[in-house]
Amino acid sequence: MNISPPTELLTARQLAARWGLSEKTLERWRMLGTGPAFLKLGSRVLYPIDAIEAHERRHSRRCTAGSETAGICR
């Protein structure tokens, strides 16, 4: 039997504290589909830590001067 280790889950309150956002912002992102992937278990909303870290990587930037892929940021 192959059982994987449990995934760490954060509540919306914990994620909001991690990112310095309000829980309302996370709620809006869930509605728009722009935030990290989440689990909805009954009335509970939980965020797997791997989905949070993937979201953080996708939104990490080195500069604000334009597109990194266009070679503007060095």
Task: List pLDDT tens digits, range 6-53.
Answer: 679 999 999 999 999 999 999 999 999 999 999 999 999 999 999 999
Query: Is residue 37 assigned to a domain?
Result: yes
Bridge partners of residue 52, in order along the sequence: none
pLDDT at 61: 84
Query: Is residue 4 assigned to a domain?
Result: no
37 sits in which H/E element: none
Q: Show the domain range for 14.
A: 9-58
Query: Is residue 73 assigned to a domain?
Result: no
Query: Is residue 66 assigned to a domain?
Result: no
Residue 4 has pLDDT above 80, yes or no: no
pLDDT at 69: 59
Q: What is the number of structural domains in the chain? A: 1
pLDDT at 5: 64
Query: Quick check: 36 and 50 in contact, CB under 8 A?
Result: no
Query: Is residue 44 assigned to a domain?
Result: yes
Instruction: For the sheet with 9-11, list strands across it.
Output: 9-11, 44-48, 39-41
Query: Is residue 39 assigned to a domain?
Result: yes
Tokens representing residue 12 in the block:
């919306």
Bridge partners of residue 46, in order along the sequence: 11, 39
Quote the pTM value: 0.78
